[in-house]
Amino acid sequence: MNKFERSSGILLHITSLPGRFGVGSLGREAFNFIDWLIVAKQKLWQILPLGHTGYGDSPYQCYSAFAGNPVLIDIDLLINQGWLTESDIPVFAPFNSSEVEFGRVNELKWKLVKIAATRFAQNATLAQRASFVRFKEANGAWLNDYSFYAAVKQHFGEKPWWEWDYNIKMREHDAVLEYQHKLASEIEMFSILQYFFFSQWYDLKAYANKNGINIVGDIPLYIAHDSSDAWCRPEIFMFDENRNPTKVAGVPPDYFSETGQLWGNPLYNWDYLKQTGFKWWVDRVKANFNLFDVLRIDHFRGLAAFWAVPFGEPTAINGVWLPAPGKELIDAIKAEMGDIPIIAEDLGVITPDVEELRDCNHLPGMKILQFAFDSNEGNNFLPHLYPHNSVVYTGTHDNDTVIGWFNAASDADKAFVMEYFNADLNDISWSMIKLAWSSVSNIAIAPLQDILKLGSESRMNLPGKPSGYWRWRYVEGTLTDEQAIRLARITKIYNR
């Protein structure tokens, strides 16, 4: 695609697709959704990060900055390939069709994908083995670390790496060799699961691209403390000699929280990264552009300056702002990859240095329509103020649905909506979609919940809540051709 041509699309994470195993996957339902996008004349499918999730099931807290989530592997495709049979699938009670029951899903799917990986290890043909070896060679820079980490983590009952035996926690040479030998078959199994994941993903992406649809991916700024990256590459983080963080990530107190948000992710040792030419970061962005056509950088403001909280603090109050070398980092990425299509997530309290970093690199920022109709304060989220180089959303995964937001809005805010544009109060989500599509922003995106006219019960996430979210799925049969045709008409009217 041109860097940012006038276009539109839908935000829907893979986990939110229907499917018989209780969670969306990379199989038939994902291809069916692409077919719906084709009918709807959409050019973009935006998803959340695809990483191997841990505690809390958040796609923004993953065990690797590079690995895919094995729970997204499609079981029916593994059956078609002969790595599983229907008789491998235990009898199970039907899953909830409108939300992911992560505990049950993880238990069932991990059991099945591990059986499939073991069969592959035992029975793969020479050609299949050769394909796997090529995958390992192409991805060895991160795959070996991730598979080793995942195997050792499993060995220690899924405890975080800093609770492992000291010698392997510190990656002492003899301990590394001992565990690599002792867990060789488990390490291979985790590599095979990544091979399955990436094979299925690239088939899905090829189908989307062949039909004129680009995938918008999402890269979390920070990685999880409990991750292969933090364990294997401690030098790129603010760690002390015992591998404990010295400072961790968060955001300061603001209008929404008087204690701020303490995320707890390790912070980058930017001085060290600068000395390496930002190699780890450049490799990470490259890997993401193998997966996606466009990339959204989450918490972009952290590339200008970041809130650093001393490790062990109970809240984010006692942090300090520290500068980050965002300009040099983006220059290094561009030197390696050219002028790639990146969206800057520039929400929240944004300072001039963040705006300068965004604008000097000609990166589109984000405009959220729900934020526009706060009648108490002037803001730059009203569509008549948008620059062309921006991405307008009716809402994101962190917002309520349009209907949920509108139902909770004050009478004054509802009146402001009516005063600003001719909204249909009985069809508010589609009125907002139409307003977004009509704006001058180069890109317009709506979460699928707004297409389906869903309320707050279908919210994907509530920032600051560590668990209990990320569960929403759309119910099979609720997404129709009529909706696609209606969206296609709006898309044609506004030349997207």
Residues with a catalytic annotation lie at: 298, 345, 398
H helices present in 158-291, as ranges: 166-169, 173-182, 184-210, 228-232, 270-275, 279-291
C-alpha to C-alpha distances, 87 to 2, 204, 238, nearest whole angstrom:
48, 27, 49
Identify the CA nearest to 63 among candidates 250, 242, 194. 194
Q: Token pair of 425, please?
A: 């109060």
Number of C-alpha atoms within 13 angstroms, CB side, residue 416? 17
Cα 29 from chain centre: 19
- Specify the pairing of strand 305-310 against strand 342-344: unpaired
Q: Are 330 and 297 in contact (CB under 8 A)?
A: no
Write out the DSSP string of 415-426: HHHHHHS---GG
Q: What is the DSSP letter of 70?
A: G
* Kind and range of the H or E run holding 337: helix 326-337
Task: Round the CA-based radius of gyration of the chain to a whole number and report it.
Answer: 23
Write out the DSSP string of 452-475: TT--GGG----TT--SS-S-B-PP
Q: Residues near 157 by Cβ (< 8 Å), separated by ≥ 6?
A: none
C-alpha to C-alpha distances, 276 to 236, 272, 273, 329, nearest whole angstrom:
10, 7, 5, 11
Query: What is the distance between the alpha carbons of residues 183 and 53, in angstroms, rounded to a whole number?
Result: 22
Query: What is the distance between the alpha carbons of residues 335 and 332, in angstroms, rounded to a whole number?
Result: 5
Identity at 192, one-letter amino acid code: I
Q: Are 426 and 414 in contact (CB under 8 A)?
A: no
Q: What is the DSSP letter of 63?
A: S
Query: What is the distance between the alpha carbons of residues 143 and 255, in angstroms, rounded to a whole number?
Result: 42
